[in-house]
């Protein structure tokens, strides 16, 4: 284990904010992770676990130990006539894992193509897109208990998955570090192409026979057309969750805003946060070196020399504006540090 001092985190967060870690180390084995946590405990240092850095907003230097998770590996565990179980290291890049699965004709995660971040963050966030969420393909995960330094296995039920939520963002926040995730994928695809513009893109591309690669390619094309590339402009993808409101509240809003998009779910009606933000007048607005993206109002951006604290202030103004106009409280999807 190599503990470094005063390391810039600029290349390790997709917003591209130049904040420093007082101490820094990589963890490419579970043993190295244990050693890092032991060192932090012995030296009374706060710990920040960092994956792909695509879901964090760094508003300050981190006066503790940043541990970059580099646990790798893709292992076929077992299979039967219908399914394949694959164990994937938490440090694997999510999109690389999706492509690997597609190349092996393992179906189930093609709709989740091009989502930034690492495999370890996927169940924590219960990432989802175009009608599919991690909970749909999740079997189990292994996580290191930060107090006992023992590996524990969490089942689907243990994770308490919700919309962009899991037990690791609530009850067990900062108490466990995910080391690997086991997925149950399908040998026969069950296509989800009714969400968003997937069918339109497939038609435009002249796809006559559906395949998981065709669906993945369509999703990639849609995401590239709507979302800015973090390598070109700093961002963390969708900054806010899509809020769910009651049917009665939605009906009331429809009387004033007939165009408001709503999607029924188990809790009520899910409303598009990007639409709310755009209607509140924020889309494309720039404030110095930060702003709201011109093509997707759900994305806050760093134009190059912005600061995380500026994004935080902007997000609070957006939330207040949406609340005043629609009576809806937006919740950040991004973790503030």
pLDDT tens track for 29-49: 999 999 999 999 999 999 999
In terms of pLDDT, which residue wins out, 206 or 142? 142
Q: What are phi and psi of 112, to 5 degrees?
A: -100, 20
pLDDT at 285: 95
pLDDT at 202: 86
Share of the chain above pLDDT 70, in %: 100
What is the average pLDDT score of the chain?
Answer: 92
Choose from 62-76, 180-194, 208-222, 241-255 the range with maximum mean pLDDT.
62-76
Structure pTM? 0.86
**248 assigned to active site:** no
Does residue 195 have a pLDDT over 80? Answer: no
pLDDT at 291: 96
pLDDT tens track for 292-329: 999 899 999 999 889 999 999 999 999 999 999 999 99
**333 assigned to active site:** yes
Mean pLDDT of 272-281: 94
CA distance 314 to 317: 5
Mean pLDDT of 108-137: 92
Rounded to the nearest 5 percent, the helix, strand and coil shares of the chain are: 30, 30, 45
Does residue 104 have a pLDDT over 90? Answer: yes
pLDDT at 79: 92
Mean pLDDT of 134-155: 96
Would you put residue 158 in left (φ > 0), alpha (ψ -120 to 50) or beta?
alpha
Q: Under 8 Å CB-to-CB from 209, ≥6 apart: which residues?
A: none
pLDDT at 107: 95
Contact 79, 37 (CB under 8 A): no
pLDDT tens track for 234-260: 999 889 999 999 999 999 998 999 899
Per-residue pLDDT band for 136 (boundaries 50, 70, 90) equals very high
Mean pLDDT of 134-139: 95
Residue ranges, comma separated, of all CATH 3.30.465.10 domains in the chain are: 74-226
Residue ranges, comma separated, of all CATH 3.90.78.10 domains in the chain are: 234-336
Per-residue pLDDT band for 54 (boundaries 50, 70, 90) equals confident
**164 assigned to active site:** yes
pLDDT at 228: 87
Q: CATH assignment of 234-336, given 3.90.78.10, 1.25.60.10, 3.50.50.60, 3.40.50.300? A: 3.90.78.10
Quickly tell me which residue has 């004709």 as its tokens: 105
What HEC string does 111-149 produce?
Answer: HHCCCCCECCHHHHHCCEECCEEHHHCEEEEEEEECCCC
Q: Residue 203: in which H helix or E strand, if any?
A: helix 198-204
Residue ranges, comma separated, of all CATH 3.30.43.10 domains in the chain are: 4-69
**4-69 maps to CATH 3.30.43.10:** yes
Does residue 276 have a pLDDT over 80? Answer: yes
Q: Among 238, 310, 315, 319, which one carries the catalytic annotation?
A: 238
**74-226 maps to CATH 3.60.15.10:** no
Q: Among 164, 184, 223, 319, which one carries the catalytic annotation?
A: 164
pLDDT at 158: 95
Residue 111 Cα distances to 130, 191, 195, 242, 284, angstroms: 6, 9, 10, 18, 27
């Amino acid at each position: 284990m190599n503990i470094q001092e005063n390391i810039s985190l600029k290349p390790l967060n997709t917003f591209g904010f130049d904040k420093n870690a007082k101490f820094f180390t990589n963890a490419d084995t579970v043993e190295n992770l244990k050693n890092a946590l032991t060192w932090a405990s012995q030296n009374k240092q706060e710990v920040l676990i960092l994956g792909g850095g695509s879901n964090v907003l760094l508003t300050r230097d981190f006066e503790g130990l940043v541990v970059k998770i580099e646990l790798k590996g893709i292992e076929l565990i077992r299979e039967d006539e219908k399914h394949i179980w694959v164990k994937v290291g938490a440090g694997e890049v999510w999109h690389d894992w999706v492509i690997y699965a597609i190349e092996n004709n393992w179906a189930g995660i093609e709709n989740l193509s091009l989502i930034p971040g690492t495999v370890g963050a996927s169940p924590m966030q219960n990432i989802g897109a175009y009608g599919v969420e991690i909970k749909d393909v999740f079997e189990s995960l292994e996580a290191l208990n930060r107090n006992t330094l023992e590996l524990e296995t969490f089942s689907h039920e243990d994770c308490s998955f919700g919309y962009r939520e899991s037990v690791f963002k609530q009850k067990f926040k900062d108490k466990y570090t995910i080391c690997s995730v086991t997925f149950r994928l399908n040998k026969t695809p069950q296509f989800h192409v009714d969400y968003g513009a997937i069918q339109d893109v497939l038609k435009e591309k002249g796809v006559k026979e559906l395949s998981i690669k065709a669906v993945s390619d369509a999703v990639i094309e849609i995401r590239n057309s709507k979302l800015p590339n973090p390598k070109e402009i700093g961002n963390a993808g969708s900054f806010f969750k899509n809020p769910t409101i009651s049917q009665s509240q939605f009906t009331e809003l429809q009387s004033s805003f007939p165009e408001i998009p709503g999607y029924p779910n188990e809790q009520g009606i899910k409303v598009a946060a990007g639409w709310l933000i755009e209607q509140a007048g924020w889309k494309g607005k720039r404030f110095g070196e930060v702003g709201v993206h011109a093509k997707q109002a759900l994305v806050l951006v760093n134009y190059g020399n912005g600061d995380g604290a500026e994004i935080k202030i902007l997000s609070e103004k957006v939330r207040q504006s949406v609340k005043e106009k629609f009576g809806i409280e937006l919740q950040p999807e991004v973790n503030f540090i």
